[in-house]
């Protein structure tokens, strides 16, 4: 889900940026990637067969609340005026600063190993890819984000959203 502002409404876009966001998706256990998602190739694999479902639920519960989160190297965070992913794609190692985030809700919706389906409600600035990576570490394993969908921004829900086709057709009518 994406909120798009056009015309005079662009002045109000900051009102939406700071709102909580809800996501659904899938973490894949047993493997990590440098980008923490499928943008880059798997760089490490782990045996996930000994992971217990109760451990998965417990880790999700423990991750709720305020915490300092390290953004992924492959992110748009600026370091020395350049986006971190520009450094990462060149193989350069840079130091990113941790950001205070708040995971308000973390629900495991389905487990079919190596896949763990989830729903997360979090504060602005939260990297769900980093949550996937940290989730794997807390299980003494590895994980990466394999599916992600933003389902809510503040009070705006995806089920009430306009499709891209509907949106573009309204632009053609003007």
List average pLDDT for each run of 10 residues in the chain, which is 174 residues long: 82 86 98 95 96 98 96 76 74 82 98 98 95 98 98 92 85 65
Task: Give the pLDDT score at 173.
Answer: 59
Look up the CATH number of domain 20-153: 3.30.2350.10
Residues 15-28 pLDDT 10s:
888 899 999 999 99
Report the C-alpha gap between 24 and 150 in whole angstroms. Answer: 7
Looking at residue 134, what is its pLDDT? 97
- The span from the CA of 154 to the CA of 88, in Å, is 32
Give the span between the Cα atoms of 41 and 148, in whole angstroms.
17
At 174 the pLDDT is 52
What Rg value do the Cα atoms of the chain yield, rounded?
A: 18
pTM (two decimals): 0.86
């Amino acid at each position: 889900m994406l909120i798009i502002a056009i015309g005079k409404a662009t002045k109000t876009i900051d009102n939406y940026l700071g709102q909580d966001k809800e996501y659904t998706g899938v973490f894949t256990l047993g493997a990590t990637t440098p980008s923490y998602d499928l943008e880059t190739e798997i760089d490490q694999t782990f045996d996930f067969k000994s992971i217990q479902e109760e451990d998965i639920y417990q880790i999700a519960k423990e991750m709720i609340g305020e915490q300092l989160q390290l953004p992924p190297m492959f992110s748009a965070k600026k370091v020395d005026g350049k986006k971190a992913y520009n450094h990462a794609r060149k193989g350069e190692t840079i130091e990113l600063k941790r950001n205070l985030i708040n995971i308000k809700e973390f629900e495991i919706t389905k487990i079919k190993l190596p896949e763990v389906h989830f729903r997360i409600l979090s504060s602005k600035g939260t990297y769900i890819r980093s949550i996937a990576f940290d989730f794997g570490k807390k299980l003494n394993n590895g994980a990466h984000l394999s599916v992600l969908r933003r389902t809510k921004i503040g009070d705006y829900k995806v089920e009430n959203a306009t499709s891209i086709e509907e949106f573009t057709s309204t632009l053609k009518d003007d």
